Structure formats: structure tokens, C-alpha cells
């Protein structure tokens, strides 16, 4: 049995953190679904910046849409929706078979809106309506303004992938925003079954912390933070508060591990897959990580109730000068800035391609 299927059998969903038009055209994504137990997909501005900027796969569509008078964000979202609705259709049988628990794809609102709740709410509703797919999440960052937009979007019936979460506190804030949105729907007599996931970024902790920690603590902090968040997730699902909402028909907001590609070349390339194996979670991984895990990964339930272990390790890191709350805030800020930079580069690439194609050349 493939290790990906073994993880799936342990109760963890495996998603692919990538999308390109060639993956759709040549059957690669369909093969991942069929052969490797991949049950969902995530995207972000950096992924699209690489997909569009580093290939000619989108040139024909860019030239055609530019000729129609489209440009900038409007042109990009048409390209992204074309890809992601095709991906959503590939995952639709999984979505239907699991009653909406699995089989999702994700599209992010403009990262330039990370601190603008009102415009994020409007953008999320617009993209959700345009996609017209029940299994497409709109990604909204877990910034303070994003939390307002998450609650409002859930209340409006928009499925949300909460992105850029970096700590237990970040996760709980996102979960509470989701619960408030569900409670408002119940109070209004609306269906409380609105999908959501909370995406906790893991490897970026170690990229930052390894610079100051002793070697024996390297590449351990991210997993410790994840363990604390997972324990909080399990406690929330066991709470009377959640059980009341579940009895009314609500689905849980699932915890998703993001940023699970190993950045340190001296560490195992399957580190954040093997060490984050846990039931009722999702691991979305880059293709390189997926293929490495298929080749030599080992599937075993690793987290269990390891929150206490995570707490102890975090305390060790604190002694060595890592303030997890301050670092979580910094990582969220830097993550938002990095996505905004990728977004600007993406739009510049589209504009450059459109200009060259309009002049009759090649992009």
C-alpha cells in the first residue's frame, strides 16, 4: 500500500499545494487523485505567480483576454477561476461522496486586502459566486481584519479557508470567527453547514527560529506549535459549545497543515508529513514533498495528544530567546507581505505578457 493511502486510512486528508494549467491538461492532477489518494488542492499568489510567470501555458489566454479589454486583477481572476473550477470538477466526486467534508480547492482573495475587512467580504462573495462550485473555498487571511471578514463570509454562506495562521492563538481566533458566523446563521434560520478549514503554517517557524536556536532544537519548533494547535482543535471539537452547533447540522472547521515542504536541506524532506500525521486533519503539500513521501515516507500517527510535549519544547525555545507570540505575529505579517509581493509580481508578469502579445510577438 502506498504511504499516502496509509495516511488517508489513518484519517488524514492529503491535498496538493499547487496548480498549473499543464497539470490539468496532461492528466497529472487526475492521476494524483486516482493513484495517490489526493483529495483536495490549495493555491496561493506565489503558486500562480510561478505558474503564469515561468511558462507560456497561459499566453494564449492572456492575449485573448487582453484583446477583450481585460487587464490586471480582473484578467488574473479569470485565469485562476478557469483553472480552479476545472480542478473543483475533478474533486467533485470526492466532495459528494464525503458529504462535503473533503474534495475542496481554494482560491485566495487579493492579498492587498489583508487589512481591509469590507473589501475582503465583497471580494469573497464575488469570487464565490463567479466560481459557482460548492467545493471551492475562498482563502482569507487570519489577520484582525480578516477575522471580521471570515465571520461575515461564513454568515453569508461563503466557504472559507483561513490562511496565514501561525499559532494556537491564531487558530483559536479563526475558529471563533467561524463559530460566530455559524451561530448567526442558526439564529437567522439558515443552513449551518458551511465548509471551512483553518490553515496553520508550519515550516516557516523553523526557517526563522533555526537562526537563533541551538542545533538540537532546530526543525522542532514548527511541529511543537502545530501540536499545541492540534490539541486546542481536539478540545474545541469535544466542547459542549461545538457539540450544540454540530447537533444543529454544522460541520467542523478542519485543521489544515500548510507550509509543509522542508526548507532545511539537512532535515528530512518528509519531516512535516511524517511528524504531522493526525486524524481529522489535512496536510497540503508541494508536489516535491508529495513525491518524496511516496518514495520513502513512513505513515504513522505521530501527534496523538502531543500538546504537552509541544509546550515543553516551546518553553526550551523561549529560554534561548524565541518569543513564540512575537514570532507568530511577525510570521503572519511577513507572510502577508510575501503574498502581496508575489501578487504585484504576478500582475506585472501578466501585464508584460499582454503587452508583448498585443504587439504581435511572443511573451
**Closest by CA position to 195, among listed 182, 183, 186:** 182
Q: Mention every residue, 6+ apart, whose C-beta is less than 8 A from residue 308.
A: none
Helix (H) or strand (E) holding 14: strand 13-17
> Rounded CA gap, 64 and 67, in Å?
5
For the question of residue 139 being annotated catalytic, the response is yes
Annotated active-site residue in 70, 139, 228, 353: 139
SS3 for 193? coil
Q: What is the 3-state secondary structure (H, E, C) of 120-170?
A: HHHHHHHHHHHHCCCCEEEEEECCHHHHHHHHHHHHCCCCEEEEEECCHHH
- Per the document, the length of the chain is 363
| Inter-axis angle of helices 59-67 and 72-97, nearest 10 | 120
SS3 for 231? helix
**Residue 113: exposure state from Cβ atoms within 10 A (0-12, 13-18, ≥19):** buried
The distance of Cα 221 from the centroid of its chain, to the nearest Å, equals 20
Q: Which residues are part of the catalytic machinery?
A: 139
Amino acid at each position: 500500500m502506498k504511504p499516502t493511502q496509509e495516511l488517508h486510512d489513518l484519517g488524514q486528508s492529503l491535498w496538493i499545494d499547487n496548480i498549473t494549467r499543464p497539470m490539468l491538461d496532461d492528466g497529472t492532477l487526475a492521476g494524483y487523485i486516482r493513484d495517490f489518494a489526493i483529495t483536495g488542492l490549495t493555491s496561493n499568489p506565489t503558486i500562480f505567480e510561478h505558474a503564469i510567470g515561468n511558462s507560456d501555458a497561459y499566453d494564449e489566454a492572456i492575449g485573448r483576454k487582453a484583446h477583450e479589454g481585460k487587464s490586471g486583477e480582473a484578467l488574473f481572476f479569470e485565469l485562476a477561476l478557469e483553472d480552479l473550477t476545472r480542478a473543483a470538477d475533478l474533486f467533485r466526486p470526492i466532495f459528494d461522496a464525503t458529504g462535503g467534508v473533503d474534495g475542496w480547492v481554494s482560491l485566495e482573495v487579493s492579498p492587498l486586502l489583508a487589512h481591509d475587512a469590507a473589501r475582503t467580504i465583497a471580494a469573497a462573495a464575488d469570487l464565490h459566486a463567479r466560481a459557482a462550485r460548492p467545493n471551492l473555498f475562498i482563502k482569507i487571511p487570519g489577520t484582525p481584519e480578516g477575522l471580521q471578514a471570515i465571520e461575515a463570509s461564513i454568515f453569508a454562506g461563503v466557504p472559507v479557508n483561513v490562511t496565514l495562521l501561525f499559532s494556537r492563538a491564531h487558530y483559536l481566533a479563526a475558529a471563533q470567527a467561524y463559530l460566530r458566523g455559524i451561530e448567526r446563521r442558526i439564529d437567522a434560520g439558515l443552513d449551518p453547514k458551511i465548509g471551512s478549514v483553518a490553515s496553520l503554517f508550519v515550516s516557516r517557524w523553523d526557517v526563522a527560529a533555526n537562526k537563533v536556536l541551538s542545533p538540537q532544537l532546530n526543525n522542532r519548533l514548527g511541529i511543537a506549535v502545530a501540536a499545541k494547535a492540534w490539541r486546542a482543535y481536539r478540545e474545541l471539537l469535544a466542547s459542549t459549545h461545538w457539540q450544540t452547533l454540530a447537533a444543529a447540522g454544522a460541520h467542523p472547521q478542519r485543521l489544515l497543515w500548510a507550509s509543509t515542504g522542508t526548507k532545511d536541506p539537512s532535515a528530512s524532506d518528509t519531516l512535516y508529513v511524517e511528524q504531522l500525521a493526525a486524524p481529522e486533519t489535512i496536510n497540503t503539500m508541494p508536489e516535491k514533498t508529495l513525491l518524496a513521501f511516496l518514495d520513502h515516507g513512513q505513515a504513522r500517527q505521530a501527534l496523538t495528544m502531543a500538546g504537552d510535549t509541544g509546550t515543553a519544547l516551546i518553553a526550551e525555545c523561549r529560554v534561548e530567546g524565541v518569543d513564540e507570540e512575537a514570532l507568530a505575529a511577525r510570521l503572519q505579517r511577513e507572510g502577508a507581505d510575501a503574498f502581496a509581493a508575489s501578487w504585484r509580481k504576478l500582475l506585472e508578469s501578466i501585464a508584460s505578457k499582454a503587452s508583448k502579445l498585443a504587439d504581435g510577438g511572443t511573451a
